[in-house]
Amino acid sequence: MDIIDLHTHTTASDGSLTPTELVAAAQRAGLKAVAITDHDTVDGVAEALAAGAALGQAVAPGVEISLQGYPAQGLPGSMHLLGLFLDHADPDLGAGLARLQRARAERNPQIVAKFNQLGIPLTLEEVAAFAGGELIGRPHFAQALIARKVVANRGEAFARYLAVGKPAYVAKWRFPPAEGISLLKRAGAVTVLAHPGLFKMGLAGLEALLRRLMADGLDGVEAYYSEHDPAYTRAVLGLAARLGLVVSGGSDFHGGQKPDILLGLGRGDLRVPAGLLAGLEERRRAVLASATVTTHN
């Protein structure tokens, strides 16, 4: 079966491979297509597209952004949205992503201050060095903590300090769902709720969340994912068919940042069928056809 991987991170956010290295790895893995979906930035996309053209590897431009949830309705308080097949040069998209990057720039010194209050003399410069001059995320704080031998690994860094509710956690501003979905769709993206399995909620809850997101314009759901078992994937496929959502899938590959997750293969047995591309392409045409009517300020 031909396989694809529509969820990956590069050095433009918190992955360890450069866009060129990632595209070369996708080709070695025999992927029919690979999407670049860095957190809050499309800075890796142009390089990935150039590498794809040079190597003859299909590359889809994308992004992964954080959204506010619907906590007042008993639904998750935050989530990740993928935008696939977007125009990475779209100026409005650039402005929206710049807002998210400013929110990070405001958060990072606050996280440093929390560590300092905890008696860990971390500096922003030290953390930034792990980000290689690109976007700084919590995984880079985790790397700095490992280098200082404060923790043994990334899991411990999140469990003790960085995860929601832990002493060094600082919330950052996120788009309200309708606004984030519209931002990506106006740049031509097919919008997909990422890794629903990570909510650890039942299928009835997921259905309620998806219906709410569809009212805000959501196109699809990531049914195939490294942390989804086959039964869960089948259940999400059934839900998507019933609700009229398109289906996507990917590994969330981060290179050495998440060494157990392999490109295209996830934990070893992920197989995202290339046949999904047809449905995604069809939805993309519908998004483009309606782009003028959804334009707003």
- Binding interface with Zn ion (CB under 5 A): 9, 14
Contact 38, 32 (CB under 8 A): no
Point out which span in 70-78, 133-141, 185-193, 241-249 binds ligand AMP (CB under 6 A).
133-141
Q: Which residue has the tokens 């295209």?
A: 264
Does position 138 interact with ligand AMP (CB under 6 A)? The reply is yes
Smaller CB distance to Fe ion: residue 96 or 139?
139
Nearer CB in complex with Fe ion: 32/80: 80
CA distance 240 to 196: 12
* Least distance from Fe ion to the Cβ atom of residue 295, Å: 27
User: C-beta of 222: minimal distance to Zn ion in Å?
Assistant: 14
Binding mask of the shown chain, residues 14 to 53, with x at each position contacting ligand AMP by CB under 6 A: x------------------------x--------------
45-55 and 19-28 helices, crossing angle to 10°: 40
Q: Are 273 and 1 in contact (CB under 8 A)?
A: yes
Q: 88 contacts which partner out of Zn ion, Fe ion, ligand AMP, none, CB within 5 to 8 A by kind?
A: none
CB of 15 to ligand AMP, least distance (A): 9
Helix extents (H) in the chain? 19-28, 45-55, 91-117, 124-131, 138-147, 154-157, 177-186, 203-215, 230-243, 276-294
Residue 137 sits in the site that holds ligand AMP (CB under 6 A): yes
Q: Are strands 78-84 and 190-193 parallel, antiparallel or unpaired?
A: antiparallel
For the chain, the first-to-last Cα distance in angstroms comes to 44
Q: At what angle do helices 124-131 and 138-147 cross, to 10 degrees?
A: 110
Residue 162 sits at φ, ψ, to 5 deg, of -100, -20
Closer CB to ligand AMP, 9 or 88, in the complex: 9
- Rule CB under 6 A: is residue 62 a binding residue for ligand AMP? no
Select the binding partner of residue 80 from Zn ion, ligand AMP, Fe ion, none (C-beta < 5 to 8 A, by kind): Fe ion
Q: What is the pattern of x (binds ligand AMP, CB under 6 A) and - over residues 217-256?
A: ----------------------------------------
Check binding of 114 to ligand AMP (CB under 6 A): no
Task: Report the distance separating Cα 17 and Cα 33, nearest Å.
Answer: 17
d(CA 168, CA 166): 6
Interacting residues of 295 by C-beta distance below 8 A, sequence separation 6+: 186
Reference 99, options 31, 1, 175; nearest CA is 175
- Residue 119's CB is within 10 A of a number of other CB atoms, namely 6
Q: Does 222 bind Fe ion (CB under 5 A)?
A: no
The correct pick among 154, 186, 228, 284 for binding ligand AMP (CB under 6 A) is: 154
Q: Does 228 bind Fe ion (CB under 5 A)?
A: no
Q: Which residues pair with 249 in a beta bridge?
A: 224
163 binds ligand AMP (CB under 6 A): yes
Q: Name the minimum Å distance from CB 64 to Zn ion.
A: 7
Candidates 80, 140, 185, 283: give the one binding Fe ion (CB under 5 A).
80
Q: Please report, as ranges, the residues that interact with ligand AMP according to CB under 6 A.
A: 14, 39, 137-139, 154-155, 158, 163
Q: Please report, as ranges, the residues that interact with Fe ion according to CB under 5 A.
A: 64, 80, 194, 252
